[in-house]
Structure 1
């Protein structure tokens, strides 16, 4: 009779995710993870094949969390404001994950940048104010907005400023209008 699995993929992924939040993606090793799970490294490799596959699964889980925040209930008519509010909500509700992704850069700059661009492209695909701009202008506006939103979210995440969601939504709307006004000049 075969032995019953004691450690499942979900448990491994959850523990790896916890380690990433505290120590970063690069710190995950099979031995460290096995110690945290109180098992050998065998279940890790049986479930994920390689540490590279496990790290990719952790990254996908982090991405899914951010996508959920920027896609959940929308409170504003402006898709860009909703994107910003979701981003700030993510920074306040998931502060460790926000720091791991955007402050401590535990997932890598290229991976994070590509992911944020992907989310932005999906959420703003039909956003009318961007449609009248060239592709280069669109990218410049998106970069300006991303820098602005990251600064805003980081200040909130660090408890250096405080905004309720309605005030944040209003402030984001003002900042976004300034970004578009700069483009027209």
Structure 2
């Protein structure tokens, strides 16, 4: 008789992410996970005492996979635009994960704000923006937030097929927005210096 396969939390969470990608987060339950993993529900409940804890961990895993994509490689405007395009592609190509993270109230918390303002990755990004565009910390944070809101709105519209745009058009819009915000920040700084 072959030895029993031991399920780990990582295996269960990977299966939950795969199910979410394929069928949405609402499809994640003990039975669907057991079927995906080729086992009964018992090993799942030996790792997790309830589905709420499992789903919370799966949600956290999805968030961590998203925020850890390339921020440390932003060294130029082209890198920053490429980083934003990754987010757009994520929304279009991984709609069910995008929906879980940004379009559901599955876990009401300050997670969305933490992704924008508090998370270490966002700090890295706006510090890089300060270096690239020679901006103060508050100016680079303003740039980061304005591009984030624009990018997120565009991602939602593209992912839900509300608009159709070619990647080249999206990149052009990012460049224009970044230029306009940087110039606006510099004008405000200059005007404040004159008073």
Is the Cα contact below 8 Å between 2:13 and 2:58 reproduced in 1?
A: yes
Q: What's the counterpart of residue 170 of structure 1?
A: 172
Q: What's the counterpart of residue 5 of structure 1?
A: 5
Report deviation, 1:22. Answer: 2.4
Is the Cα contact below 8 Å between 2:116 and 2:145 reproduced in 1?
A: no
Distance in 2, Cα, partners of 1:116 & 1:79? 19
Change (3 A) 1:153 1:138: same
Matched, 1:82 2:85: no
Equivalent positions of 1:126-137 (< 5 A) are 126-127=128-129, 128=131, 132-135=135-138, 137=139
Is the Cα contact below 8 Å between 1:69 and 1:89 reproduced in 2?
A: no
The alignment yields a C-alpha RMSD, in angstroms, of: 3.6
TM-score after normalising by structure 2: 0.68
Q: Which has the larger radius of gyration?
A: 2
Structure 1: state its 5+ residue gaps. none
Give secondary structure in 1 for the equivalent of 2:5.
coil
Is the Cα contact below 8 Å between 2:126 and 2:137 reproduced in 1?
A: no
Give aligned pairs, total: 178
- Decide which moves more: 15-24 or 115-124: 15-24
Q: What's the counterpart of residue 111 of structure 1?
A: 111
Is the Cα contact below 8 Å between 1:72 and 1:86 reproduced in 2?
A: no
Give secondary structure in 2 for the equivalent of 1:4.
coil
Distance in 2, Cα, partners of 1:103 & 1:35? 23
Distance in 2, Cα, partners of 1:175 & 1:142? 11
Structure 2: state its 5+ residue gaps. 189-195
